[in-house]
Structure 1
């Protein structure tokens, strides 16, 4: 298990991630973001909240992957995390996983393989 912060700073999202899809989950506008260097994808709220003077995006789910071969479009799933007590506990983890899978396979042409 990896330690996931409940929010990502707006600066980190802008510098490290690419927004690959936009979703509406139970009325909340969310972004599917992807970091190709770290092989990580996440679903975050598009709108930021202020925490200790810093603008941050609440995190709904994170998918960590690793490269299987030298082909950058084949990635193995390492772990999947959701916050069942976070800002949207009514959103099923399966819905979040499906949204991540769909965005990665359709938008980035990534093939995901199991654990």
Structure 2
């Protein structure tokens, strides 16, 4: 599933909420934030895996039940152990690697960069390695570029899964900062599939502090 944020043609309206009991039973609260004069909880279900931002204050629904309304979600897919991409073990050895399945943000909350916050929280606070999918939609391209340019807690690399190498494909790897690697070397534009094997990788910058990064 592609990343769905403002500007995409495949927009989804998010309608989801959880009872207080479900939230307590199913989720780990990994952060508490405040924006737009509302207290929010960043909640994580490791089993699925799934991360979301929900209102800390409950609302009463039409059945009289108090529920926490969700304003943003991000779904992940765990990489299989036999996937060829895991052959590059020195990059994420002893880490969990997940591919982005989809991220959805309520329309009224899209000016608060909640999608960026969800990515950063998973990488920095849960120490996960995140991988883009192969569908290069406009919203996803903009989000990954913003992560590469603005996020201080993570670093982004470009990986060709067919070659099994990071850009510039000479045995080294170059950090992508939004401008360091040409756009033409990363993205494919429909119906072109020349860069279909290319994905972006986000990892905790502290874990890479001892590595040599160009």
Q: What TM-score do you get using the length of structure 1 for normalisation?
A: 0.84
**Greater Rg over alpha carbons, structure:** 2
1:35 to 39, 45, 57: 45
2:115 to 82, 97, 100: 97
Deviations 1:21-56 (A, max 9, x none): 111121111111100001100000111111112110
1:92, distance to aligned residue in structure 2 (A): 2.1
> Residues 37 and 93 (structure 1 numbering): CA distance in 2 closer, same or farther, change over 3 Å?
farther
Q: Distance in 2 between matches of 1:62 and 1:41?
A: 6
Q: Partner residue of 1:7?
A: 17
Counterpart secondary structure, 2:113:
helix
Q: Partner residue of 2:99?
A: 76
> Residues 110 and 103 (structure 1 numbering): CA distance in 2 closer, same or farther, change over 3 Å?
same
The structure with the largest strand share of the pair is 1
1:108 to 103, 119, 126: 126
Q: What TM-score do you get using the length of structure 2 for normalisation?
A: 0.47
Higher relative contact order structure (alpha carbons within 8 Å, sequence separation ≥ 6): 1
**Aligned-residue CA RMSD (Å):** 2.2
Q: Distance in 2 between matches of 1:73 and 1:46?
A: 29
Q: Distance in 1 between matches of 2:126 and 2:42?
A: 12
Q: Distance in 2 between matches of 1:6 and 1:93?
A: 20
Q: Partner residue of 1:21?
A: 31
Contact between 1:46 and 1:57, CA under 8 Å: does it hold in 2? yes
Aligned residues: 110
Contiguous gaps of at least 5 residues in structure 2: 2-11, 82-93, 134-214
